[in-house]
Amino acid sequence: MQNLITYQDYLAAPDKPAALFAQAERVRHSEAFRLALDAEAYFRGENPTVAGKTILRAGKLETRDAEGRRRVRTQLKDVVGNRISNRFLHRFVTQQNAFLLGNGCTLEDAALKARLGKDFDRLLARMGEKALLHGVCWGYWNMDHLEIIEACRDALSGFFALPDEMTGEPMLGVQFWQIAADRALFLRVFETDGVSVLRRDGKEITTVMPKRAYKITRLAGGRYERHENWGVLPLIPFWANPEHRSELTPAIRSKIDAYDRILSDFADNLDRANDVYWVLNNFGGTAEDIAETLETIHRLKAVAAYTDGTGATATAEPRTIDVPHQARQAALTLLEKALYRDWMALNMEELTGGSLTNVAIRAATSALNQKADRFEWEAFAFVRALLRLLGTDTDAIRFRRQCIANESETVADIAAMRSDIDRATALRLNPYLQPEEVDALLAGA
C-alpha cells in the first residue's frame, strides 16, 4: 500500500493520535487503496468500468405550446444498457494461489509446525489470495496464533504501516475500521512496545484500550505474572511479488475491460434487434393505420390482402436484423488468450483427453510454474520471518505444488523403475496413495 508519511514524521508530530487518524483518512482516499477496492470488485465478478456503461437512445418528447398545439421533437438520452462482467480475476488468483499453497506448508520439524496452529495452512492460503489482490497482506502473530490483517477490507477499513526512512522496515502498524461513514473510527496501533486501541467520534479522540504488552502470562489465580514484547513489531508482510503490487496490473485490467465491453455491447445489439419488424409495401395509410394493421397481425397471426384505397394491393413482409458477430467472437478469443498468456495461467481447455503425456502436461504448465516461482519466494520469506519471530531460523520450508499429471503413465513409469527403487519409494511416488496410506502400508509390512 502507498505510504504517505514515515515513522520519523510520526515521531515529530506534536499530536501523535491525531496524526494517525489523519493518515488513515489519507490512506483510504489514496490511489493504492482505490486499486485494492477495484481488485476486490473484479474478484467478485463485478467490473467497475463496465458498471458505468450507458447507451444513447433516441426518444420522442411531446410538449404543447401556449395555444395548446402538440409539439413533437426527438431527443437523445443515456439509458442503462447491458453490463456483463466475467470472473477472469477470480479464476486466475484462485488457480495461482491454490497451485502453490493449496497443499499447505511443510516444515522438517513437526513440533515447530504444530506451534503455528492447526489452521496455519488455511490462513496462509487466505493471506496469499489477499496478497495477490491487494499487493500485500499482513500477518499478526497474536501471542500463539496467526491473525490476518487485510490491507483493504472495505471502503472504510484497512491497514497501513509507517516505514523507517533509512531501512524501509515497518516500525509502526495501524489497523483502522469503521462500520459506517457516520460512525466512530477505530485504530488498533501496533508498536514495538505494545498494542493499543484508539477511537475518534467527530473530533474527539479517546483511548479504548491502553497500550499493553503482546505477551501476557497469567498465574492460576488470575494475577498477571509477566508482561513481555517481542522486541520487534510482530507484523509480517506477505507480498504478492517483488514489485509489491497487486496482480491486477494495467495490462490485465485493460483486457478484462475490453472483453466485458465487447460482450455488453453485443448484448445491447441483440436487444435492439431481437424483434421482427414489418415492411409494408404500397401502403399509404397514416401512422394510426399502420399501428392497427400490426395489431391485427400480432393478434391473429395472419394478414389478409388489403388495399390502401387506390386499388393497388398492399403487402406486409416480416424482416429480422442479423447482428454481426464474427469480428466480436474473434476479438473475444484473442483477448482470452492474451489474458491467460499475460497472467501466465493454465487454460484447462488445453488439457483435454486422457492421452496427454506428462511431457505435454509439463509444457502446458511451464508458465504457471514460472509464475508460482516468484510467488513462492514471497511465501517463503513470510514463513521464514514468522519462524524467526518465534526464535527459529531455518530455511527448511517447502511448498508442495498441486500436481497435474497423467497418473496412468506415472504408475507405468514406477513399475518400470521397480527394480531400481525400494518399496517405500515406489509407494510414495504412487499418485493414487495418500501419505497416511503409505505410512499404514509400510507399518504393516
- 337-348 pLDDT, tens digit each: 999 999 999 988
Contacts of 213 (CB under 8 A, 6+ apart): 193, 194, 227, 228, 229
Lowest mean pLDDT segment, chosen from 107-121, 182-196, 270-284, 374-388: 270-284
Average pLDDT over residues 39-51: 91
Cell digits of residue 111: 513440533
- In this structure, of 50-64, 139-153, 364-378, 427-441, the range with the lowest mean pLDDT score is 50-64
In this structure, is residue 255 part of a structural domain?
Answer: no
Residue 144 in any domain: the answer is: yes
User: Which pLDDT value is given to residue 355?
Assistant: 59
In the predicted structure, residue 432 carries a pLDDT above the cut 90: no
CA distance 428 to 438: 6
The DSSP bridge pattern shows strands 170-177 and 185-191 to be antiparallel
**CA nearest neighbour of 93 among 50, 126, 67:** 126
Number of domains in the chain: 2
What is the pairing mode between strands 152-154 and 157-163? Answer: antiparallel
Mean pLDDT calculated for residue range 252-276: 79
Q: What pLDDT score was predicted for residue 94?
A: 96
Residue 149 CB-half CA count within 13 A:
25
CB 19 within 8 A of CB 27: no
- Choose one of 203, 233, 249: the last residue of a domain: 249
d(CA 359, CA 363): 6
The more confident residue out of 317 and 418 is 418
pLDDT over 70 (residue 284): no
Q: What is the pLDDT of residue 413?
A: 80
Tell me the one-letter amino acid at 394.
T
The residue with cell 527459529 is 392
pLDDT-derived band at 125 (thresholds 50, 70, 90) equals very high
User: Among residues 249, 276, 292, which one ends one of the domains?
Assistant: 249
Residue 228 lies in a domain: yes
* pLDDT confidence bin for 267, thresholds 50/70/90: confident
Q: What percent of the chain has pLDDT over 90?
A: 52
Domain boundary among 191, 220, 249: 249
Q: Is the pLDDT assigned to residue 242 strictly greater than 90?
A: yes
Average pLDDT over the chain reads 84
Q: Is 21 inside a domain boundary?
A: yes
Whether residue 163 is predicted with pLDDT greater than 80 in this model: the reply is yes
Q: What is the reported pTM?
A: 0.80
Which band of pLDDT confidence, cut at 50, 70 and 90, is reported for residue 53?
Answer: low
Q: Is residue 376 part of a domain?
A: no
In the chain, the percentage of residues whose pLDDT exceeds 70 is: 78
pLDDT of residue 350: 74
User: Residue 354 above 60 pLDDT?
Assistant: no
Q: What is the mean pLDDT of residues 102-118?
A: 91
Say which residues have a Cβ less than 8 Å from residue 291's Cβ, sequence separation at least 6. none
The model's confidence at residue 364, banded by pLDDT at 50, 70 and 90, is: confident
Parent domain of 425: 406-445
Band (pLDDT 50/70/90 cuts) for residue 383 is very high
Q: Does residue 196 sit within a domain?
A: yes
| Interatomic CA distance for residues 106 and 380, integer angstroms | 11
Least confident of 10-19, 158-167, 397-406: 397-406
Other beta carbons within 10 Å of 326: 7
Q: Does some domain include residue 423?
A: yes
**What pLDDT shows up at residue 120?**
96
Q: Does residue 384 lie in a domain region?
A: no
**Which of 263, 271, 416 is closest to 335 using CA atoms?**
263
